[in-house]
Amino acid sequence: MTPLERALRERIAAEGPITVETYMEACNAYYYATRDPLGARGDFTTAPEISQMFGEMIGAALADCWRRAGSQSDAIYAELGPGRGTLAADALRVLRSAGFRGEVHLVENSPVLRDLQRQMLPDAHWHELVDELPAKPLLLIASEFLDALPIRQHVAGIERRVMVAAGGLAFERDGEIIETSPAREQAVSAIATCIAAKGGLALIIDYGHARSAAGDTLQAVRGHGFAPLLASPGEQDLTSHVDFQSVAEAASAAGASVTPLVPQGEWLIRLGIEARAQALSSAHPEWAEETQRALDRLTGREQMGELFKVIAIHSPEWPIPTGFE
Ligand code: SAH
């Protein structure tokens, strides 16, 4: 039995079943606080860990919008759940070369990952919560962050909970599931409120669907595959698909503008990732094959290109970020 499972069983014995939301929050807090989950030897690989091209395209998109908005000197680079800091380092290289001198603010609650981020970005500022970000124009990126925030599940109008059964943890009820995520809506609302008041843009990249719909999308990921949801609490990543309709609605309600949702592959191609791959391959022929493989993984329909999607939230006063028309 994992240490977290022991704690959860004691809690359920004392207080009764816990909601899926409480379960997911407890599992991920423990999981991220105790390890670096990324990469071949971890549990999953994310886009910035596949190739520097991913962060560079994001840096170029942020730099372009910032310049067209007038290159405000008080704008900050902000990232939610920066993992190892790879994306930030790649994006900031491009932003710095475009003349951006702003501060770097990272929202991260894992001490293990903060340490890794500090090695990459020694001058950054760290925050526990999204609403602790300074009230400044934002150049913000959240890549595979929202999917890790907890969701609620309802079956026939009743909130789904986790109980202790004979064989271990079990769900109380099954049936058609409706998912919602107050935690995600709150995070989106906080950044959209800041953007509406102070300017800036946020790029949200994650897997998910364009329209709210019924269905169970909660999953556990371990060792690069799916695992049983209740089997090893705290030792596997719990995630669910992001409902981009509710993301867009939360951002609009806070007064920000929202772009259409674009598949990651199409967005990266519109931004010029193929030319970047070509340039990298010419400069480093010894890595050409690897560069091509990375390009395929990031943009291929059967790979990340179609499942992952990008939406931008921006100030009505700022131009529409590139790649969304
Ligand atoms: N964006 C990175 C890492 C994605 S993994 C990449 O694409 O490689 C999810 C990240 O979000 C991790 O850094 C994790 O520690 C962080 N995270 C998860 N839940 C969080 C929360 N509630 N508050 C702050 N950070 C959180």
In degrees and rounded to multiples of 5, residue 289 shows phi and psi of: -65, -45
Q: Whose C-alpha lies nearest to ligand 1, atom 11?
A: 81
Mapped onto helix, strand or coil, the DSSP state of residue 88 is: helix
Determine the Cα–Cα distance for residues 34 and 111; give it in Å rounded to an integer. Answer: 8
- List Cβ neighbours of 202 (8 Å cut-off, separation of 6 or more): 138, 140, 141, 142, 191, 192, 195, 312, 313, 314
* Ligand 1 binding pocket mutation candidate from 28, 32, 116 (most atoms within 8 A of CB): 32
pLDDT digits over 267-318, tens only? 999 999 999 999 999 999 999 999 999 999 999 999 999 999 999 999 999 9
DSSP 10-48: HHHHHH--EEHHHHHHHHHHHHHHT---BSTTSSB--HH
Verify whether ligand 1 is closer than 6 Å to residue 113 (CB atom): yes
Verify whether ligand 1 is closer than 6 Å to residue 49 (CB atom): yes
* Ligand 1 binding pocket mutation candidate from 114, 145, 191 (most atoms within 8 A of CB): 145
Verify whether ligand 1 is closer than 6 Å to residue 38 (CB atom): yes
Stated pTM of the model: 0.97
> How far, in Å, is the centroid of ligand 1 from the Cα of 48?
13
Contact 167, 276 (CB under 8 A): no
Orientation angle between helical segments 20-33 and 182-198, nearest 10 degrees: 70
Verify whether ligand 1 is closer than 6 Å to residue 55 (CB atom): no
- Nearest ligand 1 atom to the CA of 32 is 15
> How far, in Å, is the centroid of ligand 1 from the Cα of 270?
27
pLDDT at 1 over 90: no
> How far, in Å, is the centroid of ligand 1 from the Cα of 24?
14
pLDDT digits over 147-189, tens only? 999 999 999 999 999 999 987 899 999 999 999 999 999 999 9
- Say how many C-beta atoms besides its own lie within 10 A of residue 211's C-beta: 9
